[in-house]
Structure 1
Amino acid sequence: MVRTTFCNFIHSTKSLIPGKKRQKKSLILFLPDSLLQKIYKFLSPVDKVCLCLSCKTLFNLFSTILEHKEFAFPQLLKIKEPRKCINNQDVSRNQLLLRLETKEQLYCGACLKLHPRKSFNTPQAPNNQPLQRRCRQNAGIVDLCPCISLTGADRRNIIRLLENSTISDPTLGGRFDLIDDDEQGSYLLHRCSYATTNHWRTRLLMNVFIGLDRQLRVNTKYTLSSQSVPRVNRRAEPVFACPHTDLTMFAGWFRDSSKCKYCHTSFEGTSVSPATFEVTRMLGGCTRSESEVWLKQSRFTEEAWDDYLAFWRDSAAIRDGVRKDFRKRKAILARSREPARSGTMLSISRRRLPLNAKTPAYISAQTV
């Protein structure tokens, strides 16, 4: 209400300024800073950013909003909230990028970023729904660790950097160390460690290189250590080897090699205490476009994001109704397995129950 009234005031007073030259400076800039601060408090986070970006004067006053965590690039393993890391229209960052779209810059629902129009390699892509629009057919985001989430553009920059180590890429600065080895060739090195809310301490050593088969590979050594806690808490927060495999499920007993049946990520348990795993992920060939290999390593999108519930259902870090959605689905599944009551038969559609459904929309009671 306040924002609508304020906007109407600005538009209604434009005609009071005679001459075209005086219209270059907006009336809002004549207001005192104290009044601007009061108006600013009533705006939504997205409106605050748009106001900040409207001119230099307002940018100097309100630029701190750009550092808000809601508008940072969503790194799934750092944020630990799947709902905020997909092409969801309720996410503030996605709302902002959709509002900042122009004829030259379009939103990509797979990369969660704005791209130049020429980056969309299919003619029909710019005309698709913004949240479903993809810059490339197999575009997506690959989460390697809480520090690193790669888009297709990052993948191409890594390949260019490894093939020509004399160039520099500021987009990768600080995340990787470039190592030149006469025997192994050039590769990228990354080390990090992090703790989870369920008493796991994870250390990892990551190498990114181009294999002899011209495939971009990521070899990561995970070391998981934990205190003696109940098993239900130990599995409360996942440590992903790939989008489909949680290493905490194998920690403490697995000492063998296996492979993910979906993305063919291979992992081997080399030690039990502390739990150590060697994981190899394939990120596709050294081509300009992403392949299906890259897509299989990418995080789930809007259509399948609820598949993460199997990993995150017990985590205390998950909020915004994720655990509630899981309990709802579990209750619906239990009801569907119960024997039919007298005079009633349950019929279930094959479609998934939408997460925002207030009632079981796809379960109907039919009178026999």
Structure 2
Amino acid sequence: MTTRVLYVPDNRELDLSRLSESDYQTVASLRGKIGRGDRVLLCLEPAVSGHDEMFVRRRDGKYYASHFAGGGHGTHEIARESDEHKRQKEYWHRAGDDAGYRSDTEFTTSTGSILDVAIHGPTPTGVEVQLSRINLSTASGRTARSHRAGWLSLWFTPAERLPKWFHRVPSVGCNHIPWDNLPPRGSAVATGLRRVDIAKCTVHNFKTCPANRRHCGGDHPKLNPWAGLTLDHVAALVPAGKAVPLMATGRTVYLVPPNDLRLYESLTGGPARYTPKIPSETDRASSEPTDCYNASHLADSSVECEGCGERLLWRRPGRVLCERCNPIMHLPTSPYPL
């Protein structure tokens, strides 16, 4: 269930779970002022199509946005953004400034989307610091809306358990660090970015041929972790156009160097640059892909440990760390070298 709504008077998207102080006061002031048909506050993911209108109520000193009768999925608590979220925005804002670009927080685009951090580089980049739970269709729609305004959305999560939208929109994670205070520069290690390498189609490199079922012996692109980067590096690379989104097989999206994108296209013989689009109703119905736990599929898609970047050959629900980084999980060790 999303917490994102459209505030129609300003044509702006808001996340009710993490409002700025001014937006919190604006939404709270709507209590008792919205009637059915006014279309002031609209849920972006109504449970029942056409029943997106919401009104504001107060209970036990807290404010909630509720659907009118027939609207479906309950209420959304209206809350100010957390200190953790503020510090993560501040980290990206500082990194953008350090890279030599003007950076703004809570920047409203021409299409009404609000960027947590806007980095005004040659490639205008909008960092989406996402702590609340949203589904893929919401992330894709928001990415497309920002794209229409000329912004490349970069979705960031510090979570160890990756959300469904990770690698379905331009994404970056980081190592587990405390956010009680603003972390020092360079302390947030970036995860999720890729390099494209050329690999022979052999059983050692691929479980099956990416282009056929039998190993052909030819050259294929292989996506491997782009190691050695921090979020500070990413805040400089993406706005400069030195890290671009690539759409690989299976509609997975990775940030790679521009030359690696061209290498991938030359090896596959087709375009691979990611262009966001608003999901259709069919896409929305199937936008929550189930996790695949087939070891051969994971190996070929270069799923890595979010702690050290080592490729994972064994995966279970919720597992994002290798045995070395999370020894409490006693999983079988492959007898073959990675």
TM beyond 0.5: no
* Structure of greater relative contact order (alpha carbons < 8 Å, 6+ residues apart): 2
Provide TM-score, normalisation by structure 1.
0.25
